[in-house]
Amino acid sequence: MGQIALEGLEFFAFHGYYDEEQKIGNKYGVDLYLTTDLHAAGASDKLAETVNYEILYRLTLAEMQQPARLLEHLAHRILDRLMLEFPQVRRARVSVSKFNPPLGGICHRARVTLSRKRAAV
């Protein structure tokens, strides 16, 4: 087993609990960590033997473009999509951050992290 990570993905999107947040938008960050068998790709040097980073990014982008009220919901959707699209992934962890959330004070980011382990077959 090994880990594939895409860290520091950044998006401008229209998520938020308040209607105003969904109108003006904000900057968000996403970190993805996937546990999968990397031996075949390591031996063959073939993209088909691993998780394609470009597809991983595009799936995340597609979810980020669909508004959500809560970071928890957004992270859950991304996690569902990744587990569906990449059956070879055994475990996945998704962190979604909202930069400068409207809390009435200084906060660089609010972050939610969800993880899932695929059931043994």
pLDDT (tens digit per residue) in 33-48: 999 999 999 999 999 9
CB 22 within 8 A of CB 15: yes
CB 1 within 8 A of CB 37: yes
pLDDT (tens digit per residue) in 44-78: 999 999 999 999 999 999 999 999 999 999 999 99
State the catalytic residue, choosing from 23, 27, 46, 98: 98
Say whether 46 is catalytic: no
Give the pair of three-digit tokens for residue 6. 């895409």
pTM of the model: 0.93
